[in-house]
Amino acid sequence: MQRTRQDELLASCLELLSWDELTYMPRAGAAQRGEQMALLSGIYHDRAVDARIGELLGELENSTLVGDPLAPAAVNVREIRRAHQRMSRVPRSLVEELARVTTLAQHEWEAARRESDFPRFRPWLQKVIVLKRREADALGYEADPYDALLEEHEPGARSTDLARLFDALRRELVPLVNRLTPPADMSVLRREYPLDRQESFGKAVAAALGFDFEAGRLDTTVHPFCSAIGPGDCRLATRYDVHDFSDAFFSILHEVGHGLYEQGLDPDHQGTPIGEVPSVALHESQARLWENTVGRSRPFWEHFYPRARAHFPGALGDVKLDDFHLAVNHVERSPIRATADEVTYNLHILVRFDLERALIAGNLEVAELPGAWNEAYRQYLGITPRSDAEGCLQDGHWGAGLIGYFPTYTLGNLFAAQLFSRAAVELADLDCSFARGRFDGLLGWLREKIYRQGHRYPAGRLIEQATGRPPDYRPFIEYLSNKYTALYSI
């Protein structure tokens, strides 16, 4: 495992460069950073596809070390073999070009988003799509090239299965959205919230939930994210708006969920597959669970609302808890995914899923994206974005080459609801614990059932191990229906 741990150190250097790029790097450094990322990505790729790795794996696969398929050694061999086979199909030249182009594309996306200028970003997105098609062809697929890219983020997932799942969700969600209109009054969240107090309050809540700031930090960026540099170094980033309490605060909770997962992995297996997260959807399940299931609950705010009023007396001094709680749980057809409510959020994901599949398949030209995006929003949410910044430029995922990532948000929502439902059965009254500011019970349960399990099981199997049943979208629908019919008194 020494070589695997060395590869992880190299990967952590790439992650650190990426974090710096998105936080403190001067804009003029993008080209140089692209070359750095390309070089290190190429070196990492060479090490990962070394023929000697395949020879060693063959020896191990025929040894007694893999007798128990759930033992750490067997899990490590299984996952190293999977990664070795996958990466061996992609030439180093393509790996380097993807690293170089996506680094530059992200910076062009930032500028285009700032200016709401899709034509500026269009040639870069076209380059990314062409490269991702080449990657899909190199990796291979049975029917849909999108599946080859989806596999990177959610091993075993297939686009046809997701399409059926998303159709079922849409049939449940659209009527519920229609019942929850008009939206609640959000004006209290649009008052003045000084940025330094937003940061201090967010950090205080993050620490209370269990995030260790001795092993992590919080910075500012254009689009919120979490970077797991390595053991003892987990970095969160968010954005602030003086007239929007929700954007930064719930983004912090979302990234804290990612951070708690990373900080909860078994340190004894650091640098090996069994010490890693098995899928992006599981990671997203923790972000969504702590952001929404916990962070928008009434007991959570029974504890934290007095502190919020102390931090923001000018904005919240005259606001009752009931009104504030309803505001942070408003349901509204909005064009922005990142700040969307729990009920409409997955409709945003369905739009992206459909469009990126079409882009990779060649059924949608990049130049046609703004129009297709706006039409999809009219169809799914009954609204039209007012600009490209509010439309197809709002997310940085495609500039970063993260095609196939968006579906994991919806899968994460489903996993989160199922996990929380089971935790509520097995633990003492979680509502009372939250109202007292105690979150260690839930965190301890998740560490035992999910975090410390690492990559022992595939994502779906891990959910089944933790909850007693296979992944199912119905707990999520039940959670939404129960919560929001009560909030909206319907």
* Per-position DSSP letters for 157-173, written without gaps between them: --HHHHHHHHHHHHHHH
Q: What pLDDT shows up at residue 251? A: 96
Q: What is each CA distance from 247 to 195, 203, 230, 297, 389, in whole angstroms?
A: 12, 15, 27, 17, 16
Chain centroid offset of residue 172 CA: 23
Contact 241, 235 (CB under 8 A): no
Question: What residue type is 214 in one-letter code?
Answer: E
For 122, the token pair is 């269009």
Residues 6+ apart with CB under 8 A from 169: 346, 350, 410, 473, 477
Helix, strand or coil, per DSSP, at residue 390: coil
State how far the Cα of 360 lies from the Cα of 354, in Å rounded to an integer: 10
State how far the Cα of 309 lies from the Cα of 216, in Å rounded to an integer: 27
Residues 6+ apart with CB under 8 A from 144: 158, 159, 160, 357, 361
Tally Cβ neighbours within 10 Å of residue 413.
27
pLDDT of 186 over the 80 cut: yes
State how far the Cα of 490 lies from the Cα of 482, in Å rounded to an integer: 10
State how far the Cα of 223 lies from the Cα of 473, in Å rounded to an integer: 28
State how far the Cα of 400 lies from the Cα of 372, in Å rounded to an integer: 21
Q: What pLDDT shows up at residue 483? A: 95
Contact 172, 155 (CB under 8 A): no
pLDDT of 80 over the 80 cut: yes
Tally Cβ neighbours within 10 Å of residue 64.
8
Contact 24, 237 (CB under 8 A): no
Q: What pLDDT shows up at residue 182? A: 73
Structure confidence by residue, pLDDT tens digits, 329-362: 999 999 999 889 999 999 999 999 999 999 999 9
Structure confidence by residue, pLDDT tens digits, 8-33: 899 999 999 999 999 999 999 999 99
CA angle 392, 398, 403 (to 5 degrees): 120
Contact 108, 124 (CB under 8 A): yes
Tally Cβ neighbours within 10 Å of residue 93.
11
Catalytic residues: 255
- pLDDT tier at 183 (50, 70, 90 boundaries)? confident
Q: CATH top-level class for 159-487?
A: mainly alpha
Helix, strand or coil, per DSSP, at residue 217: strand
pLDDT of 1 over the 70 cut: no
Interstrand relation of 225-230 and 233-238 (parallel, antiparallel or unpaired): antiparallel
CA angle 263, 246, 311 (to 5 degrees): 85
pLDDT of 4 over the 90 cut: no
Structure confidence by residue, pLDDT tens digits, 236-294: 999 999 999 999 999 999 999 999 999 999 999 988 999 999 999 999 999 999 999 99
The H-or-E segment that residue 81 falls in is helix 72-88
For 414, the token pair is 């489903």
